[in-house]
Structure 1
Amino acid sequence: MSKASVAVLTFNPFQENTYVVYDDTKECVIFDPGCFEDNEKESLKKFIEDSGLKPVRLINTHCHIDHVFGNLFVSKTWGLDLEIHKGELPVLEAVPAVSQFYGIPAGDPSPAPGRFIEEGEEISFGKTSMKALFTPGHSPASLSFYCEASGFVIAGDVLFRESIGRTDLPGGDFDTLIRSIRTQLLCLDDDVVVHPGHGPSTTIGHERRFNPFL
């Protein structure tokens, strides 16, 4: 079986990582489209078109404002339903209020989710399968997506290189986050690559040895 590839595009003032995961069938999943400005939306579209990819799923690891800016654009451009964990629905619905509170432009309103992803569910596209890991703590019901065959995990804002997600936002909890990381991520092999919502990629082994929070 061919391995899946991961492309990252970094968008918006929060420097959020949007991931496009694809395999040799050219089917792809777009995770956390943070594209806010028109030129960012066009750069995502251009990458997909230039690569000959066919988006078949739109997934949010969690629904904080910086991860959902491009939901409507992706949904309309490629005719995709938004997929999230049902526990993230209040977070998604709070985005307009959050934008007002922090003085952040909300951008295009996100569509409502078309379906909910269950923890442990296998997310399939092309020849690829990824398992939805329930990793709350940074947000109420964040999911991480593990591709065992290709040795990587899309981790949202749960685990960063030598850091972890913040837990001072509504629905966040430090103890819950640490438990999520230890029970869902640190149990993976050392060479599994972690693709986080911000900053550079890392590996499980590196974080096990050098992350000061763990």
Structure 2
Amino acid sequence: MIRVLLADDEGMIRAGVAAILATDPEIEVVAEAGDGAAAVELARAHRPDVALLDIRMPRMDGLAAAAELRRVVPEVAVVMLTTFDEDDYVARALVEGASGFLLKAADPRELIIGVRAVAEGAAFLSPRIAHRVIASMGPAGLSRNALARKRTAVLTPREKEVLGLLGEGCSNQDIAARLHLSEGTVKGYVSAVLTRLEVKNRVQAAILAYEAGLVDQA
């Protein structure tokens, strides 16, 4: 069972997200909070697998809550719930250790896929968020794309395949199934990719995969 903490200052949003998650029998919302400070306290008490945090909340916003969760309960995977006008928060959330980014207006299936992905240790970046963030870079984005392609050029064809699947939010188990490899072999590839690209985690690798054009952004 995947245990989820849900934090959003809008009760209707919490109710809607909780209802969507309830459609998956393997996901359980164990606590709900209306602000970031309460979310941190509930996370300490319930030790959920995943914390879904709205970015804008009273008392303590989602970014500050993510930083505090990383400090007090680092085993909890953090997913930020965003809207289309909050792209500038993504980079800051990455610094605070977020494992995923989901749009509140996304397809309900994406919410469930994202929660499952981060619970399994993967990263999940909503394709619509990735596409918008990269597009918003303008001319600078072109330079970042070129740099990303140069950085990923050091990877072998198989490592690029693995990186692309990381960008899709795949867990090691998913990658193993897609590429017909053992999970142990996939772990080795993922470790090699992170090391060779000099990125700290799977989320940073996922963003690099988008910038290098290794993920379908349709």
Same fold (TM over 0.5): no
Q: TM-score, normalised by structure 1?
A: 0.31
- The structure where helix makes up a greater share of residues is 2
Tell me which structure has the larger Cα radius of gyration: 2
Give the strand-richer structure, 1 or 2: 1
